[in-house]
Chains A and B, each alone.
Chain A
């Protein structure tokens, strides 16, 4: 099918974009990569009166990586972030997760920030932002605010973005030294949305014991489900840690729903298996081993 009619705006500056968005209010939608919005329009599941295409706004495609973390601009495509050696050096998890987002051709257009705003509970990047405790910077004609991940994802396909706001960038904080990450998921076909998926981050202390361990699960709740499993891991050397207790803690916490692809029980089981696997690989990476 074809999109319903709308007024198209192609602002050339951020200020112009914010003016149009302010005027359009709840009837306005930002168009970034279009890889989620245009399917919704084509299926007539959305019919905004105004589309504000930000693809011509200069400066929004920046990827800034430093010791504190990685800031990704609203027009940084999945593929650009995936390929950025600087971003991967600070946070290998970005590349680990992006390789699981759709197919390469979709990643050429889709943006990381668009994926966060779209807030699909099956999507990888919201889980990464939630796991790392990152934030989204929201601009409007009234000014800017920084929304932490824990408050940004409010429900399935719902974020804290208010009418008139544009997400200008997202910040993914770096992890402490001796940390490792991994992202594992099961999809029916590589590139499809995950039936279940788990991102993990493990930090070791000076004696290589588990100092902190966290996971974020996708496709098992209305928003990314973050579980701190440090206590369940115990203060054990990471090399000999059995991750089963941690995996059980994750399994007990998630509340998946069943659908045509998988029953709730299967999703819960899968989440436990993937959590153990992701934690083990994250700990190995923290040791400096390639998972």
Chain B
């Protein structure tokens, strides 16, 4: 079948990118296959696991439940875009490393995007708030204890660095 293709322009991690995609192309697949950014992972494609979470205009969303055409003209941040301009890992990335918050790492890109947006909106979360923030992402390996530690550690690093 010859499907109509749509030209989409996305600003991904600060860089303007173009792709030509059928209407049914999921944003997750557009990022991975059309743009070669394989940091965004795909688990369930039902919205349940959170592995595909990216930031759309700064807000975390499931890229597997968003069409690439819907995102046309918008800004996307993927896990590849979380590090600072000089390549230095972000506070959230450093905290995940320090606290051993990953084992196989499959779920990690989704957690990093979710937690980055969460700490931007709530820089000093309570235990309860941190738990709710990560509850929408599934991790098969860690048991979540170290992920929760990493959320609080990242908040600490951010406040030490003056909210940077």
Contact = CB atoms under 8 A, between A and B. Distances in A.
Interface of A: 1-8, 10, 31, 34-35, 38-39, 41-43, 51, 53, 55, 79, 102-106, 108-109, 189-191
Contacts of A106: 47, 62, 136
A3 B26 contact: yes
Contacts of A34: 65-67, 70
Contacts of A191: 135-136
Interface in B33-78: 45-47, 50, 53, 59-62, 64-67, 69-70, 72
Contact of B70 (A4, A5, A55): A55
Given A6-B23, A108-B59, 18 more contacts: A3-B24, A5-B24, A7-B4, A8-B22, A8-B69, A10-B72, A34-B70, A35-B47, A35-B65, A38-B66, A41-B24, A42-B26, A42-B45, A103-B136, A105-B114, A105-B136, A190-B132, A191-B136
A5 B136 contact: no
Interface size grouping (class) on chain B: 20 to 34
Main SS class of interface, A: loop
Nearest to B29: A2
Contacts of A38: 26, 47, 64-67
Residue among A79, A105, A106 having the largest count of chain B Cβ atoms under 10 Å: A105
Contact of A7 (B23, B50, B67, B133): B23
A31 B62 contact: no
A109 B61 CA distance: 7
